[in-house]
Structure 1
Amino acid sequence: MIVRWWRPDRAIERGPWWVALDVAVAWASAGIAFGSSEYVASLTGGPLVSRVAVVVWFCAIGLRRLAPATALWAGAAATVTVMLAGEPVTNLSLASALPLTMIAQGRRPTVSVALSAVPVLAVVGVMAAHPQIVLVAAVHAVAWGSGTAGRTRKEREARLRRQAAEERAQRVRADERALLAQELHDAVGHAVTLMATHAGAARLSLPDGPPQVTAALSRIEEAGRDAMADLDRVIGLLSDRQSLAPGLRELVRGLPVEVELTLGPGLDDLDPSLAETLRRVAQESLTNVIRHARASRAAVEVTRDEGQVRLVVADDGTAGTPASTGRGLAGMRGRVERVGGTLTAGPAAPEAGWRVVASVPLGQDRP
């Protein structure tokens, strides 16, 4: 992990013009004055420690975009060394402040603090008695703030780009799903409609025909209508949003037991897979009521609140229905778990019927 911290950060802009600007700033800040020894920390004059510090400061500022952590530590070390040697500092410790901007901009806050705390505190501590200590501290604070602001701006821009890309991808998927739904409706729907229509016409043209033929044509006609209903539901799965209410109202129509259907608000704008899962759970639960529960009535209630949709199917039949050990219950639980929900089933109370409860999360809580 430490080795990775010291690598140059890819998020920092390193174009040739930026590097050229850093070199120009380094030239001015380091106090390099070729041909004159009047400047403090000149390459051509002054003690050796100051001349070495000039080179280090120059490299630290000029190469801060290529290796910001190395530049920060090297520049700070040169400043501390010159101060401990009793020589004046001419660059107000910009050799540590400017690389600090790059670190704050290109690293996470915790990593930035881990990389910069020691060298910055060392510079501020060694210059505590310097007349310009307030300015030195202010320069480092501004450098940190500037880098943090740059990082925040880049993260916001990256987040907006990701959101725009996701929206474009969603629009493309929606167009593809709409086209597929249209093709299914036009091709398969047309064929199934013709099949059911011709079967009905044949049945009506043979009012006195053999009973088995009439019954077969009736079954074909009924199967065609059921296939069209299933096809409409499959096509609904290809849409972006789907209403749960029509499927449930169709489901409870014509059952041999009385079914009370209660639908709460917010069920007209659901994810298609979620709506189909709840419809299938309700269908299997009512099938179990008819086959196993010996019930006279059942209740189906669907509500949406607190980021989830909750389906409850209860009957007044015999408690402990065999559905609790059948494959139907396992299939329902598998469907619900695939969309991130939970399902419970069991006696509502001793001798008080059977109760199935499915809760499915909405939005980001789903897998």
Structure 2
Amino acid sequence: MGELRERWGPDHLVDRGVWWVLLDVVVAYLSAVIAIGPSDHTASAFAGPVVERACAVVWFAAIAGRRFAPACALWTAAGASVAAVASGAEVTNVSLATALALALVVQSRPARTAVEVAGVPVLAVGLALAGDSNAFVPAVAAHGVAWLAGRAQRAGHEARQALRARAGEQAVAAERARMARELHDAVGHAVTVMVTHAGAARLALGGAAPPVREALSRIEEVGRSAMTDLDRVLGLLTDSYDLEATLRTLVARLPADVPAELGLPAHESLSRLSPAVAETVGRVVQESLTNVVRHARPAHAVVGVEIAGDRVVAVVTDDGKGAAAGPPGGRRGLTAMRERVAARGGVVEAGPVADGGWRVRATIPLEETS
């Protein structure tokens, strides 16, 4: 049904203004009057054999109504042209009706669809006039000009659409960037102040009760995690995600008893990742390191990201007590990680390593940025 609508449905790109329609009616009248016969004796809708008069009426209707149904106008005009030639009438501008309809068919449809719709009627007119060089050459020229004019109109329309779409995208991007700045200035400042005060309070307490120091330390960790999440959200809001900066920040903010090594490919390789894939990799590493801090400390962690063929692989390994404690973060954390990666067509492998510790390996299909 959709294909039929594309071929024969309404032609939304055709101008149907009153003055354009009136101009078509005038051209249709002149064409129908002088369409058939030599200059000294013209058969038209008002004179001549019945077949010729009927053909003239069809041409008039086809030209006058071409803006409302170009494809139908083309086929009916072509049928009348072939009938006029078959009746033995001398022809003059017999191809004008099909040429004018052809221009609108090409203008209102993609090139391939236009060929499918117009190929048969235009070919039929050409074959009908092939025996008369005086009519055939002008017919070829008229249809060629009509095709070029239609394509030029459609190209102009598509260019204008692309400019409007680009302007709209730029406006949306500017608004999202403004929102990102506002969020960063407001929420980011508040969280930073919270983390700073929690750290200062923990240091000032000195030998205070361990539960109090642990609570303050936990506030610092949550605050830093919130800042990382905020940076990630703001990156998505602006349609960008700096994976390298995110991973370096995650490693730098780890507690002292969880030192980590970070191995990354060249910046040019990371820039090939789409924001969605880069964000998924960042979330896998973040969740894995969070689990190391919660369930395996003290531990040494190694974070590695590499691009292998058409896939990006992220591996987080630690030598802590995660293997003895079971899956880091419990089943919920591991399940959420697998679901996130699966949504991008990838897989997650997680489990203990032979010499102690835990390893998370995520493999995600590579989606390159355009």
What range describes the TM-score normalised by the shorter chain of this pair? 0.7 to 0.9
Asked whether 1:170 is paired with 2:173, we answer: yes
Q: What is the CA deviation profile of residues 97-128 of structure 1, one whole-angstrom value per residue up to 9, with x for unaligned ones?
A: 11011111112334323322222222112222
Let me know the Cα RMSD of the aligned residues. 3.9
Q: Is the 8 A contact 2:323 2:353 kept in 1?
A: no
Give the alignment's TM-score, normalised by structure 2: 0.78
Please point out which of 308, 323, 328 is paired with 2:327: 323
Counterpart of 1:78 in structure 2 is 80
Please point out which of 159, 164, 170 is paired with 1:161: 164
Counterpart of 1:261 in structure 2 is 262
| Identical amino acids, percent of aligned pairs | 37
Please point out which of 144, 148, 153 is paired with 2:151: 148
Distance 1:11 1:235, change over 3 A: same
Q: Is the 8 A contact 1:244 1:270 kept in 2?
A: no
Measure, in 1, the Cα distance between the counterparts of 2:278 and 2:147.
51
Q: Is the 8 A contact 2:32 2:45 kept in 1?
A: no
Aligned length: 352
Task: Note the C-alpha offset of 1:87.
Answer: 0.8
Measure, in 1, the Cα distance between the counterparts of 2:361 and 2:323.
15
Measure, in 2, the Cα distance between the counterparts of 1:41 and 1:106.
33
SS at match of 1:40: coil
Give the counterpart letter for 2:56 in structure 1. Answer: V
Please point out which of 209, 214, 221 is paired with 1:219: 214
Unaligned runs of 5+ in 2: none
Q: What is the CA deviation profile of residues 224-280 of structure 1, one whole-angstrom value per residue up to 9, with x for unaligned ones?
A: 322331232133121434322432322556345x64321223258987775554344
Unaligned runs of 5+ in 1: none
SS at match of 1:344: strand
Give the counterpart letter for 1:105 in structure 2. Answer: Q
Counterpart of 2:248 in structure 1 is 246
Counterpart of 1:24 in structure 2 is 26
SS at match of 2:67: coil
The 5 A counterparts of 1:269-280 are 277-280=280-283
Counterpart of 2:128 in structure 1 is 126
The 5 A counterparts of 1:106-125 are 106-125=108-127
SS at match of 2:337: helix
Distance 1:112 1:296, change over 3 A: same
Give the alignment's TM-score, normalised by structure 1: 0.78
SS at match of 2:44: coil
Task: Note the C-alpha offset of 1:330.
Answer: 2.1
Distance 1:337 1:59, change over 3 A: same
Measure, in 2, the Cα distance between the counterparts of 1:362 and 1:128.
54
SS at match of 2:88: coil
Q: Is the 8 A contact 2:274 2:369 kept in 1?
A: no
Counterpart of 1:236 in structure 2 is 231
Measure, in 1, the Cα distance between the counterparts of 2:200 and 2:302.
36
Task: Note the C-alpha offset of 1:53.
Answer: 1.9
Task: Note the C-alpha offset of 1:95.
Answer: 0.8
The 5 A counterparts of 1:281-320 are 281-286=284-289, 298-303=301-306, 309-314=312-317
Counterpart of 1:6 in structure 2 is 8
Task: Note the C-alpha offset of 1:295.
Answer: 11
Name the stretch that deviates more: 267-276 or 146-155.
267-276
SS at match of 2:15: coil
